[in-house]
Chain A
Amino acid sequence: MKELNDNQIGAVKDLIFRMADDELILGHRNSEWTALGPILEEDIAFSSMAQDKLGQAHAMYQILHKLGEADPDTIAFTRDEKDFKCCHLVEFPIGEYDFSLMRHFLFDSAEALRFEMLMGSSYDDLANVAKKFKGEIKYHIMHADTWLVQLGNANEISKARMQSSLNECFPLALGIFEPSDFEETLIKDNIFPGEKRLQEEWLKFISPVITSAGLILPDINNCEPAFGGRKGYHTEYLKPLLDEMTEVYDIDPGAEW
């Protein structure tokens, strides 16, 4: 469908804000590896993935603009912290390389599945960008899987680091799937099959990779999912990131580049 009713507009906007804010913030975090990667190829990989994420965020903010929100730059650079709907996982500082790699694996796996689901969305604009993003994120998955398996099986130190990052990232990653107030509309109107379904698919998708990396998935029943981000409650790390991200914009918001 091309036109949405009011209820659907609310649901679609909420979904897109969550997705696009995740991409913007993680894109910014990934870019912090530029010139700092452990090897040149990884420096380039994280920078390139950052570029993809910012591009995808921009394309999604553009849909919001069509639905009556401000233009992409205004949405990205002028909102208060509480208006962001990103999950906590993407807000954390890059930490050591193992943390960034594990976050990238867990997040991008969920995102790839989300795009795959959205390819069949009844809302055309969302289905179209999902078809586009699916081809791009394939390379992110390939990258994450390769390194996860390699480092999980390399030596005791790398294995221990990867396991400890997995233990730290897993409850944060469960926060990706914090249900929205619009789940019913999204599912009923075939816009998106819902966060619960996505989480189930995600667990099926990541489990075999974690096993081939020789790692152990934490028991989901003993994990407290890091909820709150989708409702505007963020970690202490988001505000400083937003301040840094908007530092130049704030000097002259109307500037032409």
Chain B
Amino acid sequence: MTCGEVIANYWLRALGHGLRALPTSDFTLCQQFTLIASGLVWNIYFGAIALLAGFFLASALALGKASPRLWLRKPSEWFIFVFRGSPLFIQFFFAYFLFLNIKGSYPEMGVLTSAGVGAAIVLFLNTAAYTGEIFYGALQSIPRGDIEAADAYGLSGWARFRRVIWPTMLRLAWPAYTNEAIFLFHATTLVFFSGFPVVQQSGDALYYARYFADKTFNPFIPYPILALYFILLTLGIIGLFGLVNRRLNRHLPQDRRARLRFRPQVIR
């Protein structure tokens, strides 16, 4: 097979299209680059879904945790504590076996045991908890002056939240939120690594990298390729979040703008 054929056969392999059989001998760099790249679709899917849905739940959790009402505050605090206090891959394990049990009792809920749905739910809840804590911290550090100014303008309730508190919260939280997004994408590699099974060898990028490492007994080629893809993905996220950051800070003088800082938090 030429490299062009390999790409044509395998670039949608992670979605179940293309050639069914994975290469088993005479491995080429082209195969490794193509298959690992095709697996990246899963990582982007998990990350994007969890990030989008998690954003809204996180806003609600942050407001709940900052609320003076006990029945709003306690559930939010506990939710954040449970998901931040336990390792992500144990959450995956537990969720997978929980979904298996649910499937046993209610077969129509069987879709939950597939990675595409079940793992996305776990990642969504997990990132919502981490982001909720970030947003809560930002909410606590909104300058008093901003809120007093909103009061002076006669804003209150929903209008004050929508036009002053929420944008300021996002502006303050954005650098930390960028980090959270980056590490959420890195955490997506745990989905097929622990807990959720791979169906018909359609796994994520790490799955294919591990496949090649196991077959060739040489981890020094597939894993650096995987790392390269993840670095590119991370640069993409930083660029995208940087644009939003610029927009959130557009009313501030140039020198007071919050800079995005890359602060790795390797394990969750």
A complexed with B: no
